[in-house]
Amino acid sequence: MVDLALRGSPIILFMNTYQRLFGTGPRGLLLGLTMLYGAWWLEKTYDLGPFHGSPLIGWAALIAGSIITAVILIWAVRSLPPSERGRKLASNGAFKYFRHPLYAAFLLGFGPGLVIYLDGWFYILSLVLQFPLWHWNIRAEERLMTSAFPGEYEQYCLRTGRFFPKLW
């Protein structure tokens, strides 16, 4: 971890507390909920039927997805406490595997669990479209990190995936 204050970077002057804590998460959440609403509307308008039809499978997936999400969220917060967000470049813990573990938790855990629980084809489409949406959404965050940690952040990006771990 590198402390921005020690580096004398002016970026901390432009990053308020809200931006440090939440980044582009609220905007992405709003866009994601809008897509979910669109999927719901399409499901009601064009009934394609369920893709699995089992309430047990739906509940099991929702519970499993929620547990996976909670584990990654706790791991991410323990790896980089909120008080240090935007001030340090974390590359340990959850950040060793994900550049954006908080977003990844929802995309890889809760999102699939919710889609299986909701049991509709348009929800699957909504989940698939979430990935390019979030890639687009976090560009500003990544530009900010690149300017805050020149060279270091680019190297970090080469070895760490955005939402999926780079295991090779």
Q: What would the two tokens of residue 127 be?
A: 């989940």
Q: What would the two tokens of residue 106 be?
A: 């929802």
Ordered domains of the chain (ranges, CATH): 4-159 (1.20.120.1630)
pLDDT at 15 over 70: no
pTM of this prediction exceeds 0.85: no
Picking from 59, 104, 55, the residue whose alpha carbon sits closest to that of residue 79 is 104
pLDDT band, residue 21 (cuts 50/70/90): low
As a whole number, the mean pLDDT across the chain is 87
- By three-state DSSP, how is residue 13 classified? helix
Q: What is the mean pLDDT of residues 56-75?
A: 97
pLDDT per residue as tens digits for the range 76-99 = 999 998 888 777 899 999 999 999
